[in-house]
Structure 1
Amino acid sequence: MLSQLVYVSNRNRNCTEEEITKILTSCKRNNPPLQITGVLLYSDTKFIQMVEGESKVITQLYDKIKLDVRHSNVRMISYGPIKEKSFPSWHMGSRKIVGSLVDFKTEISKSDQEVFNKILNGQEENGVKVLGLLKKFF
């Protein structure tokens, strides 16, 4: 069964841009054989990631993600079955958020901006809202 998982975490200070490059390189190498797709948003202080694939593979991946020392306070926002992937050809898309400069693909409403701020502060737990907002980045 296909599943989708979204989590937020705090990026540790020792997680440099070089480490981000390593994360993305690893995803692009390891995800295709496991049929994992998804996106990673990151700032100087936060990670927001959505991954999708077979349920067992995603739960095993999340167990590994939680142990990664490059971030802390990993908090699952949503996890559940899906009918189809939201990002089927993205083995790991990424976008950096620099300060308050947020590069959305489309204009966002005030309510979407509020959801985004809640996500960054670890306060938003509605997976549908989070996914809708993630899609506006890509």
Structure 2
Amino acid sequence: MRKLPGILLVDDDATSAFLTQRLLHKLAVADQVVAAPNGTEGLRVLQHLLAPPAPAHAAPWLVLLDLHMPVLDGFGFLEACRRLPAAQRQRMAMVVLTTSLHGADLERLQGLPISGLVPKPLTEAKVRAILRGNLPVPALPGPDPAAGVFQLLYHSRATQPLAEAEVYELLSQSRQANAAAQITGVLVYRDEWFVQLLEGPEAAVRATYARIRQDPRHTEVVTLAEAPARPRCFVPWRMALGRNTTPNVARLFAAVLSSPAGDEEGGARIEALLQAACGALEDEADG
């Protein structure tokens, strides 16, 4: 497991916070673990860590956040973090720790800067899932997963190899940017290649893809398949990291790189492989 510069735990449950900190220290996943009992204290810690002349790495890369707390709850904390300068927001990934979620909570989370949801209690397997980025995100309000959406599949090559931390940051940015547009899908990175399936309202998908094509972090962007009125396949957003070497991921990339643009049969085959790859990643994260 890669080691993070820091983790901020914001949780008012003293027992839960103690057990979480003990696990994180045992796994040695971060250089420092800082705890706060509510959102107000959590923001104070962030302001201290981000205050000049603190170096860029002083910001915790991961925030583990409880939602229901006194003084300032998790929703208020996320709202405040959304107003931080972009440079500071990009150095953090917010993961919500939950005991249960109601529909009203899910609605309130829409548009807030979170990377995923993890049920309490935290375990070693769940920590591995967090570090790999294989987390469920809040269900989008309104759209029926069985209702027709527009899907677009492409691959591209990174202009330079991405460090794992950069891929993790890209995951967080992708989730935040696409939640409001009701876009879901899957993004896989391996050996300098990206494969991405976008699905959602056609106008939103095409606008997102247009922005993606202009991103200087990759080149050789090739559209593999477009399909209107398809069932939504990927309600959560997932990312496979380059270190994953499961057979499904290897088959996925072999099929992608051998498929010509616009090959509808190949596109259907690749879509099936994407689902298989995500399943393999989930199995590995939960095992």
Higher relative contact order (CA 8 A, sep 6+): 1
Normalised TM-score (structure 2): 0.41
Q: Are 2:274 and 1:134 aligned?
A: yes
Q: Which amino acid aligns with 1:16?
A: A
Q: Are 2:238 and 1:98 aligned?
A: no
> What is the deviation of 1:43?
1.0
Q: Which residue of 2 aligns with 1:108?
A: none
1:118 equivalent among 230, 233, 255: 255
Q: Are 2:182 and 1:45 aligned?
A: no
Distance 1:83 1:47 in 2: 22
- Unpaired stretches in structure 2, ≥5 consecutive residues: 1-147, 279-287
Q: State whether residues 161 and 192 of structure 2, in contact with CA within 8 Å, keep that contact through their aligned partners in structure 1.
A: no
Q: Which residue of 2 aligns with 1:84?
A: 231
Q: Which amino acid aligns with 2:240?
A: R
Amino-acid identity (%) = 25
> What is the deviation of 1:22?
2.1
> What is the deviation of 1:104?
3.5
Residues 70 and 129 (structure 1), Cα distance of their counterparts in 2 relative to 1, 3 Å cut: same
SS of 1:34's partner is coil
> What is the deviation of 1:103?
5.5
The runs of 4+ residues in structure 1 deviating greater than 6 Å are none
Q: State whether residues 37 and 53 of structure 1, in contact with CA within 8 Å, keep that contact through their aligned partners in structure 2.
A: yes
Q: Which residue of 2 aligns with 1:109?
A: none
More helix by share: 2
SS of 2:273's partner is helix
> What is the deviation of 1:64?
0.5
Q: CA RMSD in A?
A: 2.2
> What is the deviation of 1:81?
0.6
Q: State whether residues 97 and 103 of structure 1, in contact with CA within 8 Å, keep that contact through their aligned partners in structure 2.
A: no
Normalised TM-score (structure 1): 0.80
Count of aligned pairs: 126
